[in-house]
């Protein structure tokens, strides 16, 4: 549980640092432009959105993580969102490490 909160706090930091894009369209475009390094998708996203985001991730060799629900994501970044894209490699590595440690 503690690592889960740390991972979510990291999303907030990422947002403040301007290394986060949000919204399925913006994340899709950013992923295709090779700007997005990691995609975070809410577990409770619509099936169409989920399919679309996973497809974009796979086509562009970008990992899609769906460890969190939309409430957790929205609280972490202070906006109602279900899809996030991290554009910074350092933040990606740090977040993946937190998730690997057990979210």
Please give the Cα distance from 55 to 57 (Å, whole number): 5
Q: Extract the tokens encoding 55.
A: 């497809």
Could you tell me the mean pLDDT of each successive run of 10 residues in the chain, 103 residues long? 87 95 96 97 96 97 95 95 96 91 72
For residue 59, give the CATH number of its domain: 3.30.1330.30
- What is the extent of the structural domain holding 93? 2-100
pTM: 0.94
Tokens 């554009």 found at: 87
Overall number of domains in the chain: 1
* End-to-end Cα separation, the chain, in angstroms: 6
């Amino acid at each position: 549980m503690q690592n889960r909160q740390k991972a979510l706090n990291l999303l907030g930091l990422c947002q403040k640092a301007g290394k986060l894009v949000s919204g399925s369209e913006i994340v899709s475009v950013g992923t295709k432009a090779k700007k997005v390094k990691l995609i975070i998708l809410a577990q409770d996203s619509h099936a169409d959105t989920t399919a679309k985001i996973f497809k974009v991730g796979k086509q562009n060799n970008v990992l899609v993580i769906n460890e969190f629900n939309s409430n957790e994501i929205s609280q972490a970044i202070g906006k109602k969102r279900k899809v996030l894209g991290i554009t910074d490699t350092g933040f990606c590595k740090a977040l993946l490490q937190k998730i690997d440690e057990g979210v």
